[in-house]
Amino acid sequence: MPDMVPQLKTWQAPNLALSTITGNVLATQPHHEIYVADLIMVKDRVTDNIQELLKDFRPNLVGLTSMSFQFDTARRIATYIKSLDKDIKTVLGGYHTTLMYDEITSDGQAEPFDFILRGEGDHSFGELLQALEGRRTSESVRGLSFRENGHWVHNSPRPLEDLRRIALPNRTNRIFKGYVFGVHSLDIIETSRGCTMPCNFCSMSRMYGQTFRTYELERVMADIASAKKQGTKYLAISDDNICLDLNRLEELCDAIIRAGHNDIAYVVQASSVGMSSSEALIEKMARAGFELVFLGIENVSERNLRLMKKGNIVERTKRAIELLHKYNILIVGGMIIGHPEDQEEDIAQNYEFFDRMDVDFYSDQIITPYPKTGMREELLKQGLITNLYDYRKYNGFWANVRTKYLDSQELQFLKWKYRRKYSTFYKTTKTFKYRFPLIQLLRVLALRPYYRGKDFLSQLAKTEREIFQAEMDAFNSLNGFPELPKVGAYNNTPLPAENTEELHLKKTMVN
């Protein structure tokens, strides 16, 4: 999908799921022609590129995948494809569809799709192709939803795949190039799937259950070699929770070093508990080429950590930051704000902690009531969700909730205010300077003076609130795609913004 999260504009990673599906289809059905067209790479010319793709490749089937905030765009793209050629079949997969298939198909939101694939699509996509060729029945494809006599039929859920049967991703058929992290080429792998932790703000358990499955390290090494062959310099590891088996993480580092794959840089998300467990592990990660860790700090309030079912991990977080920085590993700190009891001082406390601990980059999110999560149910009970159904805003950036003391607009403003104060282009950490001395020199001599002057002129005679609103308006237009057709309202029409909280309370009482 072409949708992007505002604060991730410099991060453009390829879609691993699409490459993995492609690799698995071609491993068993090489007579098919499959191409991956990631529209995030051409988001400024979406319809023009769709027209050109349909003309050049003349597909029989177009597969789309989306998270919750991308679902509306997926519907619009499928509608547009059908308007150009009604004979093209469309299939939708992904997290949102897996969790919400019943709602999607019962209220007309699935109209532009011929099929829905629920759960993991590594093998089910290929089985759908066999069904379309008449080599098996649609009813035999577990996890498939399809239309029959005007009604949706939902086959039995698909069991989790045996990872030993998953072929390597195929990275050679990507139509659009240029995936980058900063200025470096970027690709993505996975070494495991799933998480057994009880965090109630995450929807992962609804996709995989509370399970943890791992790939053989030999397969992981082959995947790294495949990515390097395509020229990647940075490799993101997309595991849901790589720290569930710390011995295996250490073995992964050993394998990378033995294979000579520590000549590229790695990015991984990890827990504070895992990263604080052993200095020997962190030292080995540094030798293996791990350059950046997305660290799940989440919050520094014991009350909020308890609400998220994270446990009191603040001291473990401090130790994790200390160890990672000792070995010059950069940290992207994950922060979640906007909890029911949050006031301005609670929000400020998190940013002050990040600043005091010299966290290199901030990934600050407002708690989001993702569909089917425990957090959504809890916030519903308290009447604190201000946007129930406009999932376009469900990407962590936008305030879809209020606290008992702050409305959504104020919550959005405070996130902007404190990020602007503490996570700025003008502040550089010691670890960043060590990792990127030339970029730091460029910043000091050229970029900072330029942007200081530009910001001064653009913000001249404007109040803080006016500057905030102008930036929010710009972010709000990022995923508009006015050239795509509109597709109607969401289930249970979204509530008017000015009366959202009052109407939500009435709706909750009625239900």
- As a whole number of angstroms, the distance between CA 257 and CA 224 comes to 12
**Which residue ranges make up each domain of the chain?**
6-154, 179-435
The CATH homologous superfamily for domain 179-435 is Aldolase class I (3.20.20.70)
- As a whole number of angstroms, the distance between CA 49 and CA 271 comes to 40
Give the range among 71-85, 279-293, 381-395, 454-468 with minimum mean pLDDT.
Answer: 454-468
pTM of the model: 0.90
- Expressed in angstroms, the distance from the first to the final Cα of the chain is 34
- As a whole number of angstroms, the distance between CA 326 and CA 323 comes to 5
**CA dihedral of 285, 288, 294, 297, whole degrees rounded to 10:** 0
Tokens representing 242?
């790589």
The pair phi, psi for residue 175, each rounded to 5°, is: -75, -40
In three-state secondary structure terms, 436 is coil
- Number of Cβ atoms within 10 Å of the Cβ of 325: 20
pLDDT at res. 501: 32
pLDDT at res. 510: 28
- As a whole number of angstroms, the distance between CA 486 and CA 75 comes to 9
Residue 291 has pLDDT above 70, yes or no: yes
The CATH homologous superfamily for domain 6-154 is Cobalamin-binding domain (3.40.50.280)
Between 436 and 468, the higher pLDDT residue: 468
Q: DSSP H helical segments within 29-94, as ranges? A: 46-57, 71-84
Given a contact cutoff of 8 angstroms between Cβ atoms, the answer to whether 68 and 96 are in contact is: yes
Residue 189 has pLDDT above 70, yes or no: yes
Residue 259 has pLDDT above 50, yes or no: yes
pLDDT digits (tens, 9 = 90+) for 458-490: 888 899 999 999 999 999 999 999 999 988 755
Secondary structure E strands in 206-286: 213-214, 234-237, 265-271
- As a whole number of angstroms, the distance between CA 198 and CA 255 comes to 30
Same topology, domains 6-154 and 179-435? Answer is no
Residue in 76, 42, 37 with CA at minimum distance from that of residue 59: 37
Average pLDDT, the chain: 91
- Burial class (CB within 10 angstroms; exposed 0-12, middle 13-18, buried 19+) of 474: exposed
